[in-house]
């Protein structure tokens, strides 16, 4: 999978399955990655 991220505070199984790490849930890690991916596409 090209885009597989987990947030810093993810459970170990999720962290092990992902290629990249982003900021924690509390620091809006998911939104940061969505913004970055969309900026690369558009």
The whole-number pLDDT of residue 31 equals 96
Stated length of the chain = 42
Domain layout of the chain by residue ranges: 5-41
Q: What is the pLDDT of residue 1?
A: 58
Phi, psi of 4 (to 5 degrees): -130, 110
Nearest to residue 6, comparing CAs of 35, 29, 27?
Answer: 29
pLDDT: which is higher, 1 or 38: 38
- Could you tell me the pTM of the whole model? 0.73
Q: How far apart are CA 30 and CA 8, in angstroms?
A: 10
Q: Are 22 and 33 in contact (CB under 8 A)?
A: yes
pLDDT, tens digit, 9 for 90 and up, residues 1-35: 578 999 999 999 999 999 999 999 999 999 999 99
Sequence-distant (≥ 6) Cβ neighbours of residue 10 within 8 angstroms: 18
Structure tokens at 8: 């810093």
């Amino acid at each position: 999978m090209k885009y597989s991220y987990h947030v810093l505070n993810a459970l170990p199984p999720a962290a092990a399955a992902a290629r990249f790490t982003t900021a924690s849930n509390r620091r809006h890690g998911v939104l940061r990655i969505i913004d970055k991916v969309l900026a690369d596409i558009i």
